[in-house]
């Protein structure tokens, strides 16, 4: 994996290709083609406005936001924020449990979970 700031890591598409190449035993080109196909399928599904549900991982949903009036934070001037689509991700309970376990079983307030 590639490192970014400090000890945090960023998983790139190239890293995923390398993992598929090493663990599945395909050629580098086959691994690249498969990873590209998966990402293209995900993008096409989201572009149509359909939801993506990956069991044990989470849901990707495109939401439509209406235009609204906002303010320029520097000038305070009113402005119209145009309508747009936003992508949201909601992790599954399985993924949440894994992430929370990696945090030592602590909840948002930093307290240990009971039980």
Q: How much is the pLDDT for 3?
A: 45
> Tens of pLDDT along 15-43?
999 999 999 989 999 999 999 999 999 99
> Tens of pLDDT along 66-112?
999 999 999 999 999 999 999 999 999 999 999 998 666 555 555 55
Q: Are residues 59 and 84 in the same domain?
A: yes
Domain count of the chain? 2
52-54: strand order across its sheet: 52-54, 58-65, 84-91
Give the three-class secondary structure for 37. Answer: helix
Range of the domain at 65: 50-115
Q: Which residue(s) pair with 71 in the sheet?
A: 78
Answer with the residue of higher pLDDT: 106 or 4.
106
Q: Are residues 99 and 83 in the same domain?
A: yes
- Select from 32, 48, 64 the last residue of a domain: 48
Q: How much is the pLDDT for 42?
A: 97
User: In CATH, what number is assigned to the domain containing residue 54?
Assistant: 4.10.520.10
């Amino acid at each position: 994996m590639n490192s970014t700031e400090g000890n945090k890591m960023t998983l790139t598409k190239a890293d995923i290709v390398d993992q598929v190449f090493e663990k599945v035993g395909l050629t580098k080109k086959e691994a690249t083609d498969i990873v590209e196909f998966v990402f293209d399928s995900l993008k096409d599904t989201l572009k149509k406005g359909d939801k993506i549900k990956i069991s044990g991982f989470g849901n990707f949903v495109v939401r439509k936001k209406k235009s609204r009036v906002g303010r320029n934070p520097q000038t305070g001037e009113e402005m119209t924020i145009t309508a747009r689509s936003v992508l949201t991700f909601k992790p599954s309970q399985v993924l949440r449990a894994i992430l929370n376990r990696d945090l030592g079983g602590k909840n948002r307030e930093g307290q240990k979970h009971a039980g």
